[in-house]
Each structure stands twice: as structure tokens, then as C-alpha cells.
Amino acid sequence: MNIFTFFSFLLVAKINYSFATSVHKRFEYTYSFKPPYLAQKDGSVPFWEYGGNAIASSESVRIAPSLRSQKGAIWTKQPINFDWWEVDISFRISGRGRIGADGLAFWYTKSKGAYNGDVFGSSDQWNGLGLFFDSFDNDNHHNNPYIMAILNDGTKQFDHQNDGTTQQLAGCLNDFRNKPFPTKARIEYYQNTLTVQFHNGMTNNEQDYQMCLRAENVILPKGGYFGVSAATGGLADDHDVIHFLTNSLHATDQVQPKQYVGEDQQKLQEEYRDYQQKLEQQKAEYRKEHPAEKEPDLEDWYESDSQRELRQIFQGQNQIYEVMRELNKKIDEVVGRQERTMSLISQQGTGVQGAGAPPPPPGQPMHAGDTIRRHEVDAVFNNQNLMIGYMKEIKQFILEVKQRADTIINNQAKQPTAQVQSVGYDSQSLIAEMRDGLNHVKTNMMQMAQKITAPPGGACPTVNCVSVTTILIISIVHLAVILAYNLYRDSKDSSNKKFY
């Protein structure tokens, strides 16, 4: 138990704030409880009394546990000394069954009710207000869980058969069992108007209250007691109240310092002193039990939403890390096994080949790792990768070369110059041939001329002499044929060009 907690409690009690221009709220710590340290070490809840099957812990008050036919209640010790109030209750009603029983009740009554009564764990024929969170559908109208307010002047008995529908002031159908977050009810009684807002616990957002009921002209007895009770039947839920926060409401013109008079003030002061002493005692005991522990910082006891989220993220990441490490280990094992297998296979291979393999050096036992080692495998892999890389590069290069060759071939095929050049070459050679032929004819003619102008002594040959004119005619015909052929070739090539 930490005394600072209690001081913070007092501090909150002193904070005044208004929810409207005309209304002031004041936190009433003597009519409230909340965690942490909701209950003291001896199990008592400061300023409250509880009984029946109710159990208080440091975090919540279990008004009725999830066992059959349980009843319990918690009531304020002191009567309420202000007229108007707002009560915020945070609670959890949870059970494994699809339906639960019986439910939870909030009370404001002239006198404290019983701890094992007939109406949701407390007394019937109450005088004041009962706000019921009824889990079980007694009248079988399929309209539970249901929230309803019933006023009683101390004479009426609760109509269990009809789930109180004949007596209710107002109510709303709303499920409050097994919600992810605690459900909340905000009950306001101001200027004879009763308003109940409900938070269904589906979110953690403080703003998600919905209007459940509103009733005007509600007259409640003054100086009553707050209480919470719960009961189970054949079916059973846990009924846990996490906090009960009371604010007194004051019109702005009535705001004045809170004062207790006479006996009340003295009583409260005594109670406060007792409480302080208990705290100190428990603190000393704790120090004795845990001498090594340092006094923790007050802030350490609280955890904000973001801190919690961060912690959850850290936990998740740690789990992922652990799983990864496990996987890594497994992979290593698999690799090790594979290597052993490979080495065994290669050993067998060398065994078959005969005594060609060199024996292990003396002093070193022949084991699996001798044949192939990790770094060797790595080296082989690296080399293979390198080779694949080079091959890829070469392939790329070849492709490039091929592409270039193709484009060149295509371009050349489209260029008519290629054919023209070849034609040009042919005609040149042809002209050269013709020139050679002419030269040959010329030489022949020269020789003929020399023979003709030979000395007269030489007799004319007996063979038929060919006259100069005949030779000239033959030469001209020869030339004409060659020229005609050349012209024919040129015309044929020019007609072929059209197809390119």
C-alpha cells in the first residue's frame, strides 16, 4: 500500500470542474472506490462495507462470483450529504454461458439494503431507486439483458415473474455481458431528473456513452446510501465492479466550501486518521518484508495506453525474434545433415574407385568433414555463381552482336548501291577486256603490217593470204557484238534493280 496513492485520491477530490455553465461537479472520495489499492491488505474497502459472497481485491470488487446461488452487496458507510449527484460505475459481467444470471443492481435508498436479499442480492421493498442490469429473461419475452430503473416507496415487492416490466420507470435493451472492455453506467440525479447513460464496452473510448433512460420529476429520499449488489441463480456470471466514482452536483450560485458539522466532521476526521495510520503501518511492514526494494515512483504504478501498446509490440517482436532464432537453428541442423550425407556419399565413391584416394594424414582421424568442408562448398557455389554471371554476360554480348549483324544485313539489303557497285565492277572489267582485245588486234595488225612491208625477196606464203580489209571487217563485227552484249547486260540489271 502506498500513501501517495491515497494523497492522489485526495487531490482528485479537490479538483472542481463544471460540465455545464450552471453546474459544478465535486469528486466525493468518501462515496467512491477505484483501483489500484481498491481494497486494503485486510480486505476492507475504505468508506464502504460489503458482505454476502462479495470479495474485494486491489483491482475490483467481485460482488457475486460465477457460482450458483451467490449473493453479495457493497454499501457506503455514510449517508449521502448532498442533494444532487452523478455516479460513474465501471463493471464487468462475464461468464462462459451463452446466457447468464441474475444480474447487478445499483441502489440509492433511504437505508442500506441486505447483503443476501431477494432482489439482485439485496433487499426487496426498498425506499428509493433501484437500477437493474437484468441478465436473465424470467418472463421469456426475449428482452434480456435489460437495463431498467424502478422507484419504490418501501411498499412494493419486485415483480420477478415479469422481470419488473410492470413496475419500471424507464429502461433500455442493451447487452452488457462478456464485453471486450468494461461496461459503464453514468447515473445522474440533478434537479429531480434522473438520467442514465450506458457505455457498452465495445470500445475503450470514454466518449461512447449512449442515452439509456431519462425521467423527470423523480423524488428520491434525502440522506440515502449508495450500494451495488448482485446475484447468481442456476446460471452464474462473475459480477465485478471496477470503479464507483461519485461526484456531487451543485448549481453555480450554491457553490460553497464543503463543510461537515459537529459529529459528522469529527467522525470523518477520525476515520481519515485511522486510514492514514493503517497506511503507514502497512507501508512499514512492506519495507520490512522487502528491504532491498527501493520506494517505487508513483508514476511506475500506472501504465498509459501507449505504454501498454508499446509493451505489447515489444513482446510480439521478441516472440518473432525467438521463432526466427529457432528457425535459424533448424536450418543449420538441416545444412549440417546435408553435408554429412554428401560427405558419406563421396566417401563411398572414393571407396569404389579403389586406393586412388590418398589416406588421411597420420594423427588425424578420417571423418566426414575431411571430404568436403563448408567453406569448400561455399567456394564451389561462389565459383558457379561467378560462372553463371559470366555466361550471362557472354550470352548478352552474343545477342548484341547478332542484333547488330542483322541490322547491318537489313540495311545493306535495302541499299541499292550494293548492286550498282557490282554492276560497275563488271562493266569496268568488261571495258578492260575490250581494251585488251583491241590491243591484241592492234598488235596482230602491226605484225601483219611488218610482214606486208617485208623485203621483196620473201615470197608470198602459199597459204591463202587474208586481205587487210577482211581483218578490219572482222574486228569491227567483233567489237559490235561485244558492245551489243554490254548494252543488253546494262538493260537487264536496271530492270532487276526495281525489285529491291
Interacting residue ranges for Ca ion, rule: CB under 5 A: 134, 136-139, 141, 143-144, 163
**Smallest gap from residue 181 Cβ to Ca ion (A):** 24
Residues 6+ apart with CB under 8 A from 419: 493, 496, 497, 500
Cell of 447: 605484225
3-state secondary structure of 381: helix
Cα atoms found within 13 Å of the Cα of residue 289, Cβ hemisphere only? 7
**Smallest gap from residue 135 Cβ to Ca ion (A):** 7
**Smallest gap from residue 29 Cβ to Ca ion (A):** 34
Cα atoms found within 13 Å of the Cα of residue 33, Cβ hemisphere only? 28
Taking the least distance from each CB to Ca ion, the nearer of 233 and 437 is 233
CA–CA separation, 121 and 158 (whole Å): 12
- Ranges of beta strands (E only) in 110-232 are 127-134, 146-153, 170-173, 183-190, 193-199, 210-215, 225-231
Tell me 254's DSSP state: G
**Smallest gap from residue 98 Cβ to Ca ion (A):** 16
Strand pairing category for 16-20 and 225-231 = unpaired
Taking the least distance from each CB to Ca ion, the nearer of 161 and 396 is 161
Cell of 499: 525489285
Sort 15 into a burial class: Cβ within 10 Å, 0-12 / 13-18 / 19+: exposed
Could you please report the per-residue DSSP string of 88-105?
EEEEEEE-SSSS---EEE
**Smallest gap from residue 60 Cβ to Ca ion (A):** 23
Q: Which one, of 246, 173, 190, 195, lies nearest residue 26 by Cα?
A: 246
**Smallest gap from residue 68 Cβ to Ca ion (A):** 16
Cα atoms found within 13 Å of the Cα of residue 490, Cβ hemisphere only? 11
Q: Which one, of 102, 95, 213, lies nearest residue 160 by Cα?
A: 102
Q: Which one, of 227, 214, 281, 212, lies nearest residue 1 by Cα?
A: 281
Taking the least distance from each CB to Ca ion, the nearer of 142 and 414 is 142
**Smallest gap from residue 124 Cβ to Ca ion (A):** 14
**Smallest gap from residue 138 Cβ to Ca ion (A):** 4
Rounded to the nearest 10 degrees, how much is the dihedral formed by the CA atoms of 25, 28, 34, 37? 140
Instruction: Output b/e per residue, 45-81; b: 16+ Cβ within 10 A.
Output: bbbbbbebbbbbeeebbbbbbbeeebbbbbbbebbbe
Give the distance, in angstroms, between the CA of residue 182 and the centroid of all CA atoms in the same chain. Answer: 24
Taking the least distance from each CB to Ca ion, the nearer of 231 and 245 is 231
**Smallest gap from residue 162 Cβ to Ca ion (A):** 8
Taking the least distance from each CB to Ca ion, the nearer of 137 and 339 is 137
**Smallest gap from residue 305 Cβ to Ca ion (A):** 36
Q: List residues bridging with 226 in a β-sheet.
A: 108
Taking the least distance from each CB to Ca ion, the nearer of 37 and 198 is 198
**Smallest gap from residue 198 Cβ to Ca ion (A):** 17
Taking the least distance from each CB to Ca ion, the nearer of 47 and 106 is 106
Taking the least distance from each CB to Ca ion, the nearer of 47 and 146 is 146
**Smallest gap from residue 133 Cβ to Ca ion (A):** 10
Taking the least distance from each CB to Ca ion, the nearer of 88 and 238 is 238
Q: How many CB atoms lie within 10 A of CB 497?
A: 11
Sort 380 into a burial class: Cβ within 10 Å, 0-12 / 13-18 / 19+: exposed
Give the nearest residue (CB) to Ca ion.
163
- Residue located via cell numbers 451543485: 250
**Cα dist from 62 to 55, 93, 228, whole Å:** 5, 10, 11
Phi/psi class of residue 154: alpha, beta or left (left: φ > 0; alpha: ψ in -120 to 50)?
left
Taking the least distance from each CB to Ca ion, the nearer of 10 and 173 is 173
**Smallest gap from residue 136 Cβ to Ca ion (A):** 4
